[in-house]
Amino acid sequence: MPLHFSSSTLRSALRSPRLATASSFRRGLSGQSTVIRPAPSGFLIGAGVALAIPTYLYLNRAHLDSHPDTVASAVPDRVHSADDGGKEVGVRSVSIKDVLDRKDGDEIWVVIKGEVYNVTEFIEDHPGGPEIIKSNRSRDVTPIFQPRHPTDQLDEENLPPNVYHLGRLDVSTASDEEKDELRLKFSKDEEEEGARIEKKRKEIEEKGLGGIVNMRDFEKTAKEMLSAVGWAYYSSAGDDEITKIANNTDYQKVTFRPRILRQVAKADAATEILGHKSTIPVMISPAAMAKLGHPLGEVNLTRGAGTTGIIQCISSFASCSLEEICAARSPSQPLFFQLYVNSKRDLAAEVIKKVNKLKLDAILLTVDAAVGGKRERDLRLKGSFEPPSTGAYEKHEDTKGVSEAMFAGVDPDLHWDDIKWIRTQTDLPLLVKGIQTVEDAVLAYKNGADGIVLSNHGGRQLDTTSTGLHTLLEIRKHAPYLLRPEYRGQTGVSQALLDNPENLTPPDLKDAKPLDRKFEIWVDGGIWRGTDVVKALCLGANAVGVGRGFLYAQTVGGDKGVEHAVGILQSEILLVMRLLGANKVEDLRPSMVNVKE
């Protein structure tokens, strides 16, 4: 049987912020410390057309053969039963035959990392949809489960109350036929995809990353190393992808005015972002589901950012848990968190509490994705179109309990006043991500934000919206007071420059007063080159973000890929600065570029 994905597979990422999900599970568990729970008698069958699509295979292909050794340390020594009041009853083992006996009938069992679970009651609540589980019942589903769920998803405190851990799989008594029956079966397409990915990964391991000389090389290589699902998810954008393309081509409308003979041997691309040192003025934009590209997912980004001294912003929909990510953090490494506010404010409050507790350094409130955009690459893979009326805040009347909280998702009624509420929950700097007009930039400032991210979500939301760079130009024209005073001057040549051509830049405007508080402006979308970075900075951005570029880098080379990407960007930025005549990031000014309207 091929792997089956329910039609909600990819959209689920927009429904339930990972943290809200985990915390809602925890709430449901309060007062219950049981791991083994009595199996249910009734179960629900959900509708939904399953669609066979290739998936992410190179993980754990040999899982079943190796699991008796590898899982031993990951499972508790003693487990408890609900029907004996939580008393220790010892490790229960479940034979493969027992699991296979549930291939038909009321109860739905699966094996994950060598443990057997009864998920009968849970499947209708499952954020990835019931079909994926039903169509793989009585199988070792680890290869599907692992890349999509945080490592601690099945820990006692995160296990939904209606998932019953039955015990450890006993393979010692199983015949080869039984083992084979438990193993997931892959279609020819899936086998080929797996082989293609494995081959490319081996090739990269042997050759190293030396052949990757720019960020687009990462994109090309990642395409060969991603499953069809992964590639569609990462690369997709809204409708005709016009905004995604414009995000990059808009930078071509800005040209440099390089100055010469400026002694640039000691150029340095380091800067500060919200007061934190960063080796380059680039940060990792929050992007969901890094594990679709590489087994270690977001942890690669954290490690790569840590060793190279840049800042990562973690997505609310990260495929690693916040704890996993923070465990990979090096001492005093700054980390930002991207927040979607759940319509249930107590759940949102729990998320913020965790962010405070883990001592993250800033919160980026994403405001451009109350509903998911129409991403047709994803839709085509699903094979059926469902009107995108549901999206992030879909209410599922037919689900209950745990699921209700899980599916509630992002609040479409979020309002500027909510910034005040977030402020009551945290002292961390708060930036608004997804600003696409000068009016909203002004409102963000008036409502007390510490900064804004001019972003259209990498073109994944509303198509034919303006680009981050364009919004920056709008701010320059209509609300220049939001920029730091030295960035309010005009672009291109000016009389002041001609009067003193020996100066690198004209004197900064004398009467320009700074804002009464710090207000940072970051730009993301379509940044692939050092030239793009430097152009945004010349026009007044404090820093820029890169989303897909880093997703692809970690897909290709894990944390080493991220390090390599930072190296590429750093050397390109330094090259541009030197050829422009600037030695420091603070030297960059609007007069160093011309802008074609």
* Contacts of the segment 398-404: beta carbons below 8 A, 24+ positions apart: 398/124, 399/124, 399/125, 400/125, 401/28, 401/125, 401/161, 401/162, 402/24, 402/25, 402/28, 402/125, 402/160, 402/161, 402/162, 403/124, 403/125, 403/127
Write out the two tokens for 308: 């190279």
DSSP of 193-258: HHHHHHHHHHHHHHH-STT--SHHHHHHHHHHHS-HHHHHHHH--BTT-HHHHHHHHGGGGEEE--
Phi and psi at residue 369, in whole multiples of 5°?
-140, 50
**Contacted entry of ligand HEM, ligand FMN, none for residue 457, CB cut-off 5 to 8 Å set by kind:** ligand FMN
CB 527 within 8 A of CB 549: yes
As measured in angstroms, the least distance from the Cβ of 210 to ligand FMN is 24
* Near ligand HEM by CB under 6 A: residue from 13, 209, 449, 523: 13
Could you identify the residue written with the tokens 């799989």?
169
Looking at the Cβ atoms of 80 and 548, the one nearer to ligand FMN is 548
368 is catalytic: yes
Looking at the Cβ atoms of 54 and 160, the one nearer to ligand HEM is 160
- Indicate the Cα dihedral angle 432, 481, 533, 581, nearest 10°: -160
Q: Which of 4, 294, 457, 470 is catalytic?
A: 457
Which of 1, 10, 125 shows the shortest CA–CA distance to 384?
10
552 is catalytic: no
- Rounded CA Rg of the chain: 26
Looking at the Cβ atoms of 105 and 258, the one nearer to ligand HEM is 105
Among the residue ranges 60-68, 141-149, 359-367, 368-376, the one whose residues contact ligand HEM (CB under 6 A): 141-149
Among the residue ranges 82-90, 255-263, 303-311, 313-321, the one whose residues contact ligand FMN (CB under 6 A): 313-321
* Near ligand HEM by CB under 6 A: residue from 231, 317, 337, 487: 317
Residue 338 contacts ligand FMN per CB under 6 A: yes
Round to whole Å and give the CA distance between 124 and 112. 18
Q: Which of 340, 445, 487, 552 is catalytic?
A: 340
Write out the two tokens for 572: 């390109």
Round to whole Å and give the CA distance between 264 and 262. 6
The residue number with the shortest CB distance to ligand FMN is 547
**Contacted entry of ligand HEM, ligand FMN, none for residue 310, CB cut-off 5 to 8 Å set by kind:** none
Residue 131 contacts ligand FMN per CB under 6 A: no
Residue 278 contacts ligand FMN per CB under 6 A: no
Round to whole Å and give the CA distance between 52 and 382. 9
Round to whole Å and give the CA distance between 283 and 395. 34
Residue 60 contacts ligand HEM per CB under 6 A: no
- # residues contacting ligand HEM (CB under 6 A): 26
Round to whole Å and give the CA distance between 522 and 452. 6
- The CA-CA-CA angle for residues 252, 257, 260, to 5°, reads 135
**Contacted entry of ligand FMN, ligand HEM, none for residue 144, CB cut-off 5 to 8 Å set by kind:** ligand HEM
As measured in angstroms, the least distance from the Cβ of 152 to ligand FMN is 19
398 is catalytic: no
The residue number with the shortest CB distance to ligand HEM is 128
- Site mask, ligand HEM, residues 108-137, x = CB under 6 A? --x------x-x------xxx---xx--x-
As measured in angstroms, the least distance from the Cβ of 51 to ligand HEM is 12
Looking at the Cβ atoms of 441 and 551, the one nearer to ligand FMN is 551
Write out the two tokens for 237: 């954008």
Q: Which residues bind ligand FMN (CB under 6 A)?
A: 233-234, 247, 285-288, 315-317, 338, 366, 433, 455, 457-458, 460, 524-527, 546-549, 551
Which residues are known to be catalytic?
Answer: 340, 368, 457
Q: Which residues bind ligand HEM (CB under 6 A)?
A: 5, 9-10, 12-13, 16, 18, 21, 110, 117, 119, 126-128, 132-133, 136, 141, 144-145, 148-149, 153, 160, 163, 317
